[in-house]
Structures are given as structure tokens and as C-alpha cells.
Amino acid sequence: METIQNIADYLLEQNEHIAAEIFAKATEEVETLYTQDEFTKRTAFIADFILFFGHYLRDGEQAASYHNLIEKSRLLGKIEAQTGKRISDCMPLYSIIRTLFTESILSDDRFSLTKEEILAFGAKFHAFFDVFLRETVQAFNDFKDILLKTVREELNELSAPIVPIDKGIAILPLIGAIDSHRARYILEKGILRVVDLKIQYLIIDFSGLQTIDTLVADYLFKIENVLRLLGIEAVVTGIRPAIAKTAIDIGIDLSSIKAYGTVQQALEGINH
């Protein structure tokens, strides 16, 4: 198909001009809040996409540009994620770009595509654009997942600190609502922190805890068992009746756990 090759040559020669024209029109149709720098970078991404597509039309899927498209799309997905947007905020713009690009080629009198050529061009373009969207969305979601995991770990660390209050004595204040992620973090990371600080007595204070379910209760009371195996004595304070009932319901033997009403009482018990 000679006409398809002509389109490929045109895209390879005019990719930057086409990108600037299409992206300018797209941002007029879809409200965006891009800075001038962001606008310029995204125009460059579109120019690269058109360049890659030109090579794809000319050389097929084995062209290096097909693989470059994947890398570039993933980079764009990460950049979009860093703006704080949702991926759904980006889709209208990409949809308009797809439409504008297709229309610009099919309506160009220089090519005068036959029905067969229109179908062939459309199939290649939409397949190529779908790869771009798939890789961009996947990279966007992957980056958001990493960011969420990092934030969650930071929150876990801040919300479950091991606080030394005397030589060999520290307190673990449990505050607010604790889900299974935070409880697992306390069990896995908190104990390592206790060992690193050479703590002999850990006071686990439940007084600031709003509520816990059975899974979380199991995690929290396992801390006492693990610490005992490490030669560290754990005492608990501030256990309310509802929390005690949850522990008993899942078979935890509270009689084996040293408990006090307040942190002050626990300190007095330890010092005696």
C-alpha cells in the first residue's frame, strides 16, 4: 500500500508540526490546567508518539520505535501520576487527540485514501494508540500504588512509635483506629525497633484505641508472645471491656498477660 507509506513519510518529516497543531486544538476542547512547561513536555510526547507511529507504519511491529513507544508511554504515565490527578482526568484529552489525529490524516487531500486503505490505516493506528493508553494507564497505576505504599508505611511508623521513657523501658501507644496493615506493621517492624533499642520492658497502651476487630486483636496480642520469646517483658495498659471481650472471643488467654489500668501503674509495677 503505497499511500500508507506516503503517510509514514509525512509523519516522520512533520511529527513536531502535527503534534503542536493537534495538542493545541485538543487543549482548547478539553479544559486543562497545564503550565507552559507541562504543555511543552506533553506536546513533545505527542511528537514522539507520531514519530514512533510513522516508523511503525513503515517498518512494522518489529521497529525499535514500537518498543520506544512502550517506554515513553510508561514515562508519561508516571509523570501524569506525579501531578496528583486521577487517570480518569487524563482520558478525555487522550480521546480528543486520538480523534483529531485520525481526522487530520483521513481528511488530507494529499493521500486520498481508498476504503481499504482507510480500514488498514485505522486498524494500525488504533492498535498503536491502544498500546500507548494501556502502558500509560498501567504506569500511572503502578506509580500510585508505590506512592500509596510509601505513605502507608510512613503513617504506620508515625502512628505506632516505640517511645523510650526510661532506661530499658519504652511505651507503644496505640491510638485511633488500627487496621490489619498497621497491626502487621507493628508486629513485624515494631518488634525489631524494640530489639534495636535494647528495651527490657515494653508497655503496650490500649487506652487511645477506638476499636479493633478479631484479626487486628490477634496481631496485637501476638506481640506479647513474640517479645516473651525474645526475653522482653511486655505489659498492657488501658484495655477496655470491649477490647478484652474481642481478645477472649478469639481464644487469647488474658490471664497470662500482665495488665495495668494506666501507664503510671505499669511503671510502678515494673520499678518494684
Residue 49 has what pLDDT?
94
Q: What is the DSSP string of the chain?
A: -HHHHHHHHHHHHHHHHHHHHHHHHHHHHS-----HHHHHHHHHHHHHHHHHHHHHHHH-TTSHHHHHHHHHHHHHHHHHHHTT--HHHHHHHHHHHHHHHHHHHHT-TTT---HHHHHHHHHHHHHHHHHHHHHHHHHHHHHHHHHHHHHHHHHHHHHS--EEEETTEEEEEEEE---HHHHHHIIIIIHHHHHHTT-SEEEEEEEEE----HHHHHHHHHHHHHHHHTT-EEEEE---HHHHHHHHHTT--GGGSEEESSHHHHHHHHH-
pLDDT > 70? residue 90 = yes
Contact 90, 80 (CB under 8 A): yes
- Name the most confidently modeled range: 188-192, 201-205, 251-255: 201-205
Which option is the CATH number for 163-271: 3.40.50.300, 3.90.105.10, 3.30.750.24, 3.40.50.720?
3.30.750.24
Q: What is the pTM of this model?
A: 0.63
**Quick one: pLDDT at residue 123?**
92
Q: Where are the domains of the chain?
A: 1-155, 163-271
Say if residue 61's pLDDT is above 80. Answer: no
Longest C-alpha distance within the chain, in Å? 95
Pairing of β 233-237 and β 201-209: parallel
- Percent of the chain residues topping a pLDDT of 90: 39
Is residue 237 within 8 Å of 260, Cβ to Cβ?
Answer: yes
pLDDT average, residue stretch 195-217: 85
- Fold of the domain spanning 1-155: Globin-like (1.10.490)
